Amino acid sequence: MNKTFLMGRLVRDPEVRYAQNASSSAIARFSMTVPRKFKKKGEPDSDFFNYVCFGKVAEFVEKYIKKGTKIIVTGRTENNNYTNKDGQMVYGMKVVVEKIEFAESKHKDAEEGRRRMIHRKPQKLITSI
């Protein structure tokens, strides 16, 4: 069974295109950073993965997902190997997305902003007459 579940944040806005055929279905591509649970000294704190999705999922991405959005992706991994112009084999991997869920509230940023305001030191109000 090939099933992948990953949670992270988009590193840039998704790229969405429409196929030039009768169905003209949407195709979305994006990259996401996924933090590592266990970190070893000298190793990266997170991994970066490339994603692709089609149809209604891609339309959802186009409408609601942007850089910085924290999401949970369900899908399958596929090889993304190719031979470059120098004749060398380049090995890669991509995740074909089947389902996307938001991993945090839409208003989380606003809530964090309010919390920061609450914890600020009060400033003197200066009034002149």
Least confident span in 18-27, 52-61, 66-75 = 18-27
Q: How is the chain split into domains, by residue range?
A: 4-104
Give the pLDDT band (50/70/90) at residue 44.
Answer: confident
The fold of the 4-104 domain, in CATH, is OB fold (Dihydrolipoamide Acetyltransferase, E2P) (2.40.50)
Give the pLDDT confidence score for residue 109 in this predicted structure: 55
pTM for the model = 0.74
Structure tokens at 81: 């190997």
Q: Does 70 score more than 70 pLDDT?
A: yes
